[in-house]
Amino acid sequence: MEHVLVADAVGKRFGKRWALEDCTVALPAGNVTALVGPNGAGKSTFLHLAVGLSRPDAGGMRVLGADPYENITVLADLGFVAQDTPVYRDFTADELVVMGGRLNRRWDAPLARNRLAQLGIPPRKQVGKLSGGQRAQVALALALAKRPRLLILDEPVASLDPLARQEFLQSLMGSVAESGTSVLLSSHILADLERSCDYLMVLQAGRAQLTGGIDDIVAGHRRLIGPRHLGEPIGGVTAIVRERHTDRQSTLLVRTSGPISDPLWTVQEPTLEDIILDHLAQRDERATYEEWGVAA
């Protein structure tokens, strides 16, 4: 299988604190991968390593077969839209399309113009005067016009309302399907991801907590509801991700190796959002409590 990004035990440190630690993933080509995790999990740090803006302090990162920090030629095949959708605010969208043509060897200006026209973005208004969502669309159109093999988007939908978010993701999926571009996008908003992405990477406190194809992840988890669980083994369960109890009843999110046939348990298929939230709920906050000097 071809991989667009391979991180091998990657670590990145700011001062004494590791923002990423022992992070190992391989993202297959041709997918839209969602990178999710709570604030401060290391998503932007990971994306900055992927586009060669910084270099790992441990391990190695290869993007499109090359080290993106050492080998700047790979940048020609990468599209990147940073978190605050930085575009030159005094320029109009049309001027930015022209400028992109001067700065890039490969540049599909008609693609950018068509997208922006379709989205109703005014060509001759300074982009600083567009709405946050419109600016995000301009940044995406410029990134797509580069015709990258891998498009990396840091929180592209954060500033969009639910309808604009849905439209943005749909139009992104459409462009990706046409061009065969692979996409890695970070997001806090879990609800849309099941529909628009096919691969998932969950970061928690700098570590890759859960990685895989979204269909496989959903198929490999079940929610079990049954009598108070005291640790006895349950057939078909390979790991308990999270358990919640009342006096009489337990609700478990589990990883499975096959069907659960134990009649004591009611078996439900969790949503991707449920699965991600339960994995993230395992957060270990002891270190932060120590730093604040308060008891955990």
Ligand X SMILES: Nc1ncnc2c1ncn2[C@@H]1O[C@H](COP(=O)(O)OP(=O)(O)OP(=O)(O)O)[C@@H](O)[C@H]1O
Q: Which is nearer to ligand X, 16 or 248 (CB)?
A: 16
What element of type H or E holds 284?
A: none
* Candidates 38-46, 108-116, 130-138, 245-253; binding stretch for ligand X (CB under 6 A): 38-46
The residue count for the chain: 296
Residues in contact with ligand X, counted by CB under 6 A, come to a total of: 10
Question: Residue from 4, 7, 10, 19 that binds ligand X (CB under 6 A)?
Answer: 19
Please check whether residue 155 is in contact with residue 81, taking contact to mean a CB–CB distance below 8 angstroms: no
* Candidates 42-50, 60-68, 167-175, 210-218; binding stretch for ligand X (CB under 6 A): 42-50
Q: Which is nearer to ligand X, 189 or 267 (CB)?
A: 189
User: Which of helix, strand or coil describes residue 249?
Assistant: strand
Tokens of 198: 């096919």
Q: Does 292 bind ligand X (CB under 6 A)?
A: no
CA-to-CA distance for 248 and 47, rounded, in angstroms? 45
* First-last CA distance in the chain: 44
Q: Does 159 bind ligand X (CB under 6 A)?
A: no
Q: How many CB atoms lie within 10 A of CB 270?
A: 18
φ, ψ of residue 151 to 5 degrees: the values are -110, 125
Q: Does 86 bind ligand X (CB under 6 A)?
A: no
Q: How far is the CB of 83 from ligand X (least distance, A)?
A: 6
Q: Does 218 bind ligand X (CB under 6 A)?
A: no
Q: Does 44 bind ligand X (CB under 6 A)?
A: yes
Q: Does 205 bind ligand X (CB under 6 A)?
A: no
Question: Residue from 11, 42, 56, 100 that binds ligand X (CB under 6 A)?
Answer: 42
Q: Does 156 bind ligand X (CB under 6 A)?
A: no
74: closest CA among 90, 63, 85?
A: 63
Q: How far is the CB of 14 from ligand X (least distance, A)?
A: 3
The angle, 0 to 180 degrees and rounded to 10, between the axes of the packed helices 109-118 and 132-145 is 150
Q: Does 56 bind ligand X (CB under 6 A)?
A: no
Kindly provide the b/e burial profile for residues 107-118, where b requires at least 16 CB atoms within 10 angstroms of the residue's own CB.
bbeebbbebbee
Longest distance between any two alpha carbons in the chain, whole Å? 68
Q: Which is nearer to ligand X, 40 or 123 (CB)?
A: 40
Which amino acid is present at 25? V
Q: Which is nearer to ligand X, 41 or 201 (CB)?
A: 41
Q: Does 43 bind ligand X (CB under 6 A)?
A: yes
Q: Where does this chain bind ligand X (CB under 6 A)?
A: 14, 19, 37, 39-45
